[in-house]
């Protein structure tokens, strides 16, 4: 509605600068695409050869990459792990962030809990890896379920930090009003606070999803020998110390990139919608 | 009710068991993902011809990480196929591997390779803990077409090799290409020279404080540095893949590397005419040794419950027909005696293989965390040989402290 | 009063199970790791207790010392660079520009690609394309410049995420604040300095801390670009811990390294948070 009444004036100099700046993003991407289409015999070590188009725009590399990685099955596993991790993370981490943010200033316990969880962010994964391998095996969760549990724990510190920070901007008065009306804390949270945090949910979703989607190490060590592959695990097929097929590898990277790109575009709309909702209040 | 059901179920299973004995499951994990097709084929053939044993071979990526994590979980395969390197030494030292000296097939394995395995043990242990299967060989690969066009001869001594490099350079051709950005590639010329110039058991000698690396590796260090002026400018910018690509495209006449590089080179240029020769590190033509190690061997895990079945699998894999199958697929050199048809690309090394004039890669004795490859790269960059050798000796003691103590304790008691 | 109790109970019922889960899969393995730091454990098989040896070694190991120097140099420079650039990007992408969604989408792509993939692409660029333009040797082959190449790649990839966080921060700034400021005659830099920046300060804090921490733990970029070379000049702490601890046989020693590294990062981050929170209060 507003767009019609106030005529929108675009900031063209900034737009043009941003468009020019896109070169820094597009150039490496261009390299990825042309390498993905080339054959190993077309790979050269000189600049012109590197930048030139492939001889033929054939999708053979993509087909072969899909076959080698057992694409649909790996995609499904990756998708399942990422989606479940994301949903569980948003639910649990936002709750924890809420509990911490609302009590940190009055309670030593929550203050301690906050620093305890957040400090987990700084633990180098390499030191946890071997003990975790042993622990997940003993609990018989050396499978996708275990990987999801580990992700939910890994991303907890950062997400709690983000949520707790965001809740500082949401006034307590809103909840108090609901309390007066007799709603429980639990209901108030889901009815009032949770929906207010959409922009942060979107950010957390993007961060968590990207981290899990691209991660190799955790599924590699936790699920080794189980025969279950995720996309990044399957992509290891393309490189060994004694030879890398960059063409197939890049083709498969491009394939793995698409779902995330779509996801991001959706999430981005959510961030903007969240603000519109906020403006409505 | 439930008990009855369970009982009858157990009964049915028992009957089924006696009528049709379930085959013994044998799991083999091997560490060469690039050979997965060959192994899949062998497993399929095995299962077709054997009803009493069912064999599963897996060829995972990141195999060493996977094996280690499985060991942490105490989830052991029956057989592992690994290389003759520090991992073997560590697994053996951790008492994970079974003694297979009672395995009959060992009689047909070339002694040189069994000796290599013995040499890899931190502390001499009675028994044999692996069955060498395939060997690899490293030295110089050369572009036969370029060599033939200029009439260049294969050098037999270090002065001849330098002369050849000068000739190649004078003809306007780049003598060799290095991919030193990947530090491990510095070990290829290093090993190839060291087998000619340093004693094969130098590491053990140092552990017993009988000599120093400063003394034994000086000549190797001098000679590897001399190669730099025959390589492309700034070899530290290029990776192993780049070097393979350059050599495949005829940008250099030679490539100091092992037979494991051949598939990658051919993937860029399938028509390249490659042959090889032994790196002539010694000034004396009779002093040359081929750099050859155990590329893959099979170790039966101590935890395996089916040692007999595992031996049956080994019998199958060591069958000359199956060895030839593997050799054809992977351009490898078998560790077994007997006549096999090898790839012509290793013709230049054949003489040494047949005569058993070979020695293991020295780096198979270096702990990977010491990063000798990176130290060689550092030295090649700054040219400070004394600093390099001093550091080698100093770091060696620090990274091998526990092994040295163990070995000295062993020597004191034997 | 009753509702106060209900509120307390609900919070406890949320926090306690989550804390337990966290303890199980983060603290417990960490404690085991600390235990291993007093052994010569290889990761499997048997091991001996070695007391404080690993910790003593740590302070006399020049390689560990170099890795600390390299990692901190890299993290500091990259964090500052990334935050300045992402703040500028966020302001630009939040301005009234044409093709807003498209541009935001495009600039986010670097973050979707895995760090390893980005590393491979850039290693092509640094090895072949840049030298052809600058007529100089590859940055990756020069031990004085290789770290700069890593800074560039880290920045290229992280700017997207930091920009996104700044954008979501900028969105919390109500439009009427700007309108009020404009009426008061505030423009450009002043508007940013006195109005926008204070309002997004919490996001700045989060970005600085996260970014610093990510850069201190740099690993993938190193694996893809240099593997610690040339001449061991780009060995980061995480690289050493993983490479020598997991791939090599130094699990015990590198556990000690990881324990010390963990303490160091926590101290840095706490100091950072203290400092930035103080600033937040001042504004």
Q: pLDDT tens across A131-148, in order?
A: 898 899 999 998 999 999
Domain with CATH 1.10.3720.10 in chain A: 73-280
Whether residue A245 and residue B267 make contact (CB cut-off 8 A), yes or no, is yes
Binning pLDDT at 50, 70 and 90, where does residue A4 land? very low
Q: What is the per-residue pLDDT for B2? A: 52
Q: Phi first, then psi: give them for residue A111, nearest 5 degrees.
A: -60, -45
Residues in B closer than 8 angstroms to A241, CB to CB, are 184, 240
Question: The complex's ipTM?
Answer: 0.85
**Interface check C246 vs B, CB under 8 A:** yes
Window from B17-21, C99-103, C239-243 with minimum mean pLDDT? B17-21
Quote the Cα angle for B60-B65-B68, to 5°.
110
Whether residue B245 and residue A43 make contact (CB cut-off 8 A), yes or no, is yes
CA distance C79 to C213: 9
pLDDT tens for C33-62 read 999 999 988 888 888 899 999 999 898 888
Which of A39, A240, A243 should be substituted to probe chain B, the one whose Cβ sees the most B Cβ atoms within 10 Å? A243
Whether residue B182 and residue C227 make contact (CB cut-off 8 A), yes or no, is yes
pLDDT tens for A77-126 read 999 999 999 999 999 999 999 999 999 889 999 999 998 998 898 888 87
Express the helix, strand and coil content of chain C in percent, nearest 5 each.
80, 0, 20
Give me the DSSP letters along B166-207: HHHHHTT---B---TTSGGGGHHHHHHHHHHHS-TTHHHHHH
Mapped onto helix, strand or coil, the DSSP state of residue C235 is coil
Whether residue B267 and residue A243 make contact (CB cut-off 8 A), yes or no, is yes
**Interface check A240 vs B, CB under 8 A:** yes
List the structure tokens of B249: 């495209």
Alpha carbon B142 to chain centroid distance? 21
Nearest CB neighbour to B374, from listed C229, C247, C249: C229
CB within 8 Å of chain C, chain A residues 7-26: 8-12, 14-15, 17-19, 21-22, 24-26
> Among all chains, which residue has been given the structure tokens 């305890």?
A116
Residues in C closer than 8 angstroms to B183, CB to CB, are 227-229
pLDDT higher than 70, residue A273: no
- Output the average pLDDT for chain A: 84
Nearest CB neighbour to A243, from listed B184, B238, B263: B263
Which of C40, C143, C230 should be substituted to probe chain B, the one whose Cβ sees the most B Cβ atoms within 10 Å? C230
**Residues sharing a CB contact under 8 Å with residue B233, sequence separation 6 or more, in sequence order:** C137
Most confident of A67-76, B303-312, C87-96: B303-312
CA distance C52 to C39: 9
Cis peptide before B269 (omega within 30 of 0): no
Find the residue in B nearest to A41 (Cα). Answer: B268
Return the H-helix or E-strand segment holding B80. strand B79-82
Whether residue C230 and residue B71 make contact (CB cut-off 8 A), yes or no, is no
Q: Which CA distances in Å does A156 have to A118, A189, B202, C21, C219?
A: 8, 19, 51, 10, 21
List the structure tokens of B149: 């066009």
List the structure tokens of C219: 């690993």
Quote the Cα angle for C66-B217-B208, to 5°.
90
Q: What is the per-residue pLDDT for A2? A: 41
CA distance C253 to C250: 5
- Asked if residues B240 and C227 have their Cβ atoms less than 8 Å apart, the reply is no
Chains near B with 3+ CB pairs less than 8 A apart are A, C
CA distance A216 to C14: 31
Binning pLDDT at 50, 70 and 90, where does residue A256 land? confident
Whether residue C206 and residue A165 make contact (CB cut-off 8 A), yes or no, is yes
- Output the average pLDDT for chain C: 87
- B319 versus C125: the higher-pLDDT residue is B319
- Asked if residues B138 and B192 have their Cβ atoms less than 8 Å apart, the reply is yes
Binning pLDDT at 50, 70 and 90, where does residue A277 land? very low
Average pLDDT of C155-159? 92
Where does A73-280 sit in CATH, by number? 1.10.3720.10
pLDDT higher than 70, residue B1: no
Q: Which CA distances in Å does C232 have to A241, B18, B226, B372, C228?
A: 19, 63, 22, 11, 5
**Interface check C213 vs B, CB under 8 A:** no
pLDDT higher than 90, residue C7: no
Which of B31, B82, B181 should be substituted to probe chain C, the one whose Cβ sees the most C Cβ atoms within 10 Å? B181
Find the residue in A nearest to C210 (Cα). Answer: A158
Mapped onto helix, strand or coil, the DSSP state of residue B295 is strand
Q: Work out how many CB contacts closer than 8 A connect B with C.
A: 86
Q: What is the per-residue pLDDT for B177? A: 95
- Asked if residues A71 and A88 have their Cβ atoms less than 8 Å apart, the reply is no
List the structure tokens of B107: 């009689």
Classify residue B356 by its DSSP letter: T
Mapped onto helix, strand or coil, the DSSP state of residue C216 is helix
CB C188: neighbour CB atoms within 10 A? 7
Find the residue in C nearest to A196 (Cα). Answer: C172
pLDDT higher than 70, residue A45: no
List the structure tokens of B9: 């179920």
CA distance B384 to B389: 9
pLDDT higher than 80, residue C181: no
- B406 versus C85: the higher-pLDDT residue is C85
CB C281: neighbour CB atoms within 10 A? 8
CA distance B410 to C30: 36
Average pLDDT of B387-410? 91
pLDDT higher than 60, residue C216: yes
pLDDT higher than 70, residue A196: yes
Find the residue in C nearest to A121 (Cα). Answer: C213
Whether residue C168 and residue A271 make contact (CB cut-off 8 A), yes or no, is yes
Q: What is the per-residue pLDDT for B98? A: 95
- Output the average pLDDT for chain B: 90
pLDDT higher than 50, residue B117: yes
**Interface check B183 vs C, CB under 8 A:** yes
Q: What is the per-residue pLDDT for B6? A: 54
Where does B137-291+362-413 sit in CATH, by number? 3.40.190.10
Give me the DSSP letters along C56-117: HHHHH-HHHHHHHHHHHHHHHHHHHHHHHHHHHHHHHHHSS-TTHHHHHHHHHHHHHS-HHH
Q: What is the per-residue pLDDT for A5? A: 44
**Residues sharing a CB contact under 8 Å with residue A11, sequence separation 6 or more, in sequence order:** C95, C96, C97
Which of C60, C226, C231 should be substituted to probe chain B, the one whose Cβ sees the most B Cβ atoms within 10 Å? C231
Whether residue A113 and residue C112 make contact (CB cut-off 8 A), yes or no, is no
Chains near A with 3+ CB pairs less than 8 A apart are B, C
CA distance B298 to B59: 13
Nearest CB neighbour to C30, from listed A51, A127, A265: A127
Q: What is the per-residue pLDDT for A279? A: 36
pLDDT higher than 60, residue C219: yes
- Asked if residues A11 and C97 have their Cβ atoms less than 8 Å apart, the reply is yes
Return the H-helix or E-strand segment holding B131. strand B131-143
Nearest CB neighbour to A225, from listed B75, B260, B261: B75
Share of chain B above pLDDT 90, in %: 67
CA distance B307 to B304: 6
Share of chain A above pLDDT 70, in %: 89
Binning pLDDT at 50, 70 and 90, where does residue B9 land? low
Q: Where are the beta strands (DSSP E) in B215-277?
A: 254-258, 274-277
Where does B23-136+294-346 sit in CATH, by number? 3.40.190.10
Q: What is the per-residue pLDDT for B148? A: 95
Q: What is the per-residue pLDDT for A247? A: 85
- B388 versus B239: the higher-pLDDT residue is B388
Domain with CATH 3.40.190.10 in chain B: 23-136+294-346, 137-291+362-413
The distance between the two most distant Cα atoms of chain C, rounded to a whole number of Å, is: 76
Q: What is the per-residue pLDDT for B129? A: 96
Q: Which CA distances in Å does C138 have to B293, B374, C143?
A: 34, 18, 10
- C243 versus C154: the higher-pLDDT residue is C154
> Among all chains, which residue has been given the structure tokens 């000690």?
C256
Q: What is the per-residue pLDDT for A260? A: 82
The distance of B28 to chain A (nearest Cα, Å) reads 11
pLDDT tens for A198-227 read 878 888 888 899 889 988 889 988 887 777
First and final C-alpha spacing in chain A: 17
Window from A181-185, B38-42, B388-392 with minimum mean pLDDT? A181-185
The distance of A219 to chain B (nearest Cα, Å) reads 11
Q: Which residues of B touch A (CB under 8 A)?
A: 29, 33-34, 58, 60-62, 65-66, 69-70, 72-75, 184, 238, 240-242, 244-246, 249, 251, 260-261, 263-264, 267-270
> Among all chains, which residue has been given the structure tokens 């044409």?
C98
CA distance A74 to A55: 30
Question: pTM for the complete prediction?
Answer: 0.85
Q: What is the per-residue pLDDT for B34? A: 81
The distance of B387 to chain A (nearest Cα, Å) reads 29
- A255 versus A266: the higher-pLDDT residue is A255
Of B330, B306, B314, the closest CA to residue B130 belongs to B314
List the structure tokens of B146: 């370029």
**What length is written for chain C?**
283
- Asked if residues B333 and B135 have their Cβ atoms less than 8 Å apart, the reply is yes
Classify residue B251 by its DSSP letter: S
pLDDT tens for C192-205 read 888 888 888 888 88
The distance of A40 to chain B (nearest Cα, Å) reads 5
Average pLDDT of A258-262? 82
Q: What is the per-residue pLDDT for C2? A: 58
Q: What is the per-residue pLDDT for B7? A: 56
Q: Phi first, then psi: give them for residue A87, nearest 5 degrees.
A: -65, -50
pLDDT higher than 60, residue A20: yes
Nearest CB neighbour to B377, from listed C45, C48, C230: C230
On the 0-12 / 13-18 / 19+ scale of CB atoms within 10 A, B47 is: middle
The distance of C211 to chain B (nearest Cα, Å) reads 28
Q: What is the per-residue pLDDT for A3? A: 44
Q: What is the per-residue pLDDT for C23? A: 96
Bridge-partner residues for B136, per DSSP?
A: B293
Q: What is the per-residue pLDDT for A113? A: 94
Helices C251-282 + C53-60 axis angle, to 10 = 70
Average pLDDT of C119-140? 82
CA distance A244 to B51: 38
Mapped onto helix, strand or coil, the DSSP state of residue A135 is helix
Q: Phi first, then psi: give them for residue B273, nearest 5 degrees.
A: -95, 95
Which of B72, B122, B236 should be substituted to probe chain C, the one whose Cβ sees the most C Cβ atoms within 10 Å? B236
């Amino acid at each position: 509605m507003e767009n019609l009444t106030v005529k929108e004036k675009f900031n063209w100099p900034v737009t043009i600068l941003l468009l020019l700046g896109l070169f820094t993003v597009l150039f490496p991407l261009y390299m990825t695409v042309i390498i993905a289409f080339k054959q190993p015999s077309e790979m050269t070590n000189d600049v012109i050869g590197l930048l030139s188009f492939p001889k033929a725009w054939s999708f053979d590399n993509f087909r072969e990459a899909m076959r080698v990685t057992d694409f649909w099955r790996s995609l499904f596993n990756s998708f399942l792990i990422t989606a479940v991790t994301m949903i569980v993370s948003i639910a649990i981490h936002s709750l924890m962030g809420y509990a911490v943010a609302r009590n940190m200033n009055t309670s030593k316990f929550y203050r301690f809990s906050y620093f305890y969880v957040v400090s987990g962010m700084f633990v180098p994964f390499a030191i946890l890896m071997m003990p975790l391998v042993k622990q997940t095996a003993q609990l018989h969760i050396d499978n996708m379920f275990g990987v999801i549990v580990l992700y939910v724990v890994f991303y907890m510190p950062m997400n709690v930090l983000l949520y707790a920070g965001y809740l500082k901007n949401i006034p307590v008065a809103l909840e108090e009003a609901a309390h007066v009306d007799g709603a429980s804390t639990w209901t108030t949270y889901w009815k009032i606070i949770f929906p207010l945090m959409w922009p942060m949910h979107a950010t957390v979703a993007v961060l968590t999803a990207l981290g899990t989607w691209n991660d190799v190490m955790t599924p590699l060590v936790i699920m080794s020998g189980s025969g279950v592959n995720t996309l990044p695990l399957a992509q290891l097929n393309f490189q060994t110390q004694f030879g890398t097929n960059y063409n197939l590898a890049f083709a498969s990277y491009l394939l793995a990139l698409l779902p995330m790109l779509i996801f991001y575009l959706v999430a981005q709309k959510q961030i903007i919608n969240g603000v519109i909702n906020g403006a409505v209040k | 009710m439930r008990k009855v059901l369970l009982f009858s179920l157990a009964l049915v299973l028992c009957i089924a068991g006696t009528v049709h004995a379930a085959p013994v499951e044998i799991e083999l994990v091997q560490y060469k993902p690039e050979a997965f097709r060959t192994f899949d084929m062998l497993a399929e053939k095995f299962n077709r011809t054997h009803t009493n044993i069912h064999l599963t071979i897996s060829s995972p990526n990141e195999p060493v990480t996977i094996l280690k994590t499985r060991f942490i979980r105490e989830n052991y395969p029956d057989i592992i196929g690994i290389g003759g390197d520090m991992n073997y030494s560590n697994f053996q030292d951790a008492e994970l591997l079974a003694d297979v000296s009672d395995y009959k097939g060992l009689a047909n394995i070339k002694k040189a390779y069994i000796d290599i395995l013995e040499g890899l043990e931190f502390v001499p242990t009675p028994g044999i803990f692996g069955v060498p299967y395939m060997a690899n060989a490293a030295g110089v690969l050369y572009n036969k077409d370029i060599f033939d066009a200029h009439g260049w001869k294969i050098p037999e001594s270090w002065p001849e090799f330098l002369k050849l490099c000068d000739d190649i350079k004078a003809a306007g051709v780049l003598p060799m290409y290095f991919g030193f950005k990947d530090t491990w590639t510095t070990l290829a010329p290093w090993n190839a020279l060291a087998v000619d110039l340093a004693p094969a058991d130098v590491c053990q000698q140092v552990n017993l404080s009988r000599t120093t690396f400063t003394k034994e590796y000086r000549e190797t260090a001098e000679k590897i540095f001399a190669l730099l002026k025959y390589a492309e400018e700034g070899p530290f910018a290029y990776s192993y893949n780049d070097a393979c690509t350059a050599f495949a495209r005829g940008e250099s006449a030679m490539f100091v590397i092992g037979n494991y590089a051949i598939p990658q080179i051919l993937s860029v240029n399938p028509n390249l005419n490659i042959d090889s020769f032994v790196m002539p590190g010694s000034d004396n033509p009779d002093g040359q040794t081929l750099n050859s190690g155990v590329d893959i061997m099979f170790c039966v895990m101590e935890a395996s419950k089916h040692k007999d079945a595992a031996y049956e699998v080994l019998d199958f894999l060591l069958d000359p027909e199956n060895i030839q199958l593997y050799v054809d697929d992977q351009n490898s050199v078998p560790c077994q005696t007997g006549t096999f048809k090898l790839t012509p690309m290793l013709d230049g090394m054949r003489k040494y293989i047949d005569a058993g004039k070979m020695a293991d890669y020295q780096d198979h004795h270096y702990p990977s965390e010491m990063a000798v490859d990176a130290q060689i790269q550092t030295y090649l960059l700054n040219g400070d040989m004394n600093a390099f050798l001093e550091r080698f000796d100093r770091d060696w003691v620090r990274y091998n402290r526990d092994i040295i103590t163990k070995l000295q304790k062993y020597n004191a008691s034997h | 009063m009753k509702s106060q109790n209900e509120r307390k109970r609900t919070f406890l019922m949320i926090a306690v199970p989550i804390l337990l889960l966290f303890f199980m899969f983060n603290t417990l393995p960490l404690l085991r790791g600390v235990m291993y730091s007093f052994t010569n454990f290889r990761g499997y098989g048997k091991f001996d207790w070695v007391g404080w040896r690993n910790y003593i070694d740590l302070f006399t190991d020049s390689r560990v010392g170099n890795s600390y120097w390299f990692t901190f140099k890299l993290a500091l420079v990259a964090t500052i660079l990334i935050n300045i650039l992402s703040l500028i990007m966020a302001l630009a992408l939040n301005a009234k520009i044409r093709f807003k969604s498209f541009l935001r989408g495009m600039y986010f792509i670097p973050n979707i690609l895995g760090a390893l993939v980005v590393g491979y692409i850039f290693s092509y660029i640094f090895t072949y394309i840049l030298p052809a333009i600058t007529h100089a040797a590859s940055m990756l082959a020069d031990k004085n410049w290789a770290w700069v190449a890593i800074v560039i790649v880290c920045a290229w990839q992280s700017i997207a995420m930091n920009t996104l966080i700044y954008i979501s921060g900028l969105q919390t700034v109500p439009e009427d604040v700007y309108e009020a400021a404009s009426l008061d005659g505030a423009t450009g830099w002043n508007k940013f300095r006195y109005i926008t920046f204070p309002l997004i300060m919490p996001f700045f804090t989060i970005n600085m801390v996260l970014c610093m921490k990510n850069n201190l733990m740099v690993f993938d970029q190193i694996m893809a670009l240099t593997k610690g070379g040339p001449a061991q000049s780009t060995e980061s702490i995480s690289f050493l811990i993983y490479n020598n601890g997991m791939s090599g046989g130094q699990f015990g020693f590198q556990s000690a390294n990881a324990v010390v590294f963990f303490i160091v990062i926590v101290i840095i981050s706490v100091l950072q948070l203290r400092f930035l929170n103080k600033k937040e209060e001042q504004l």
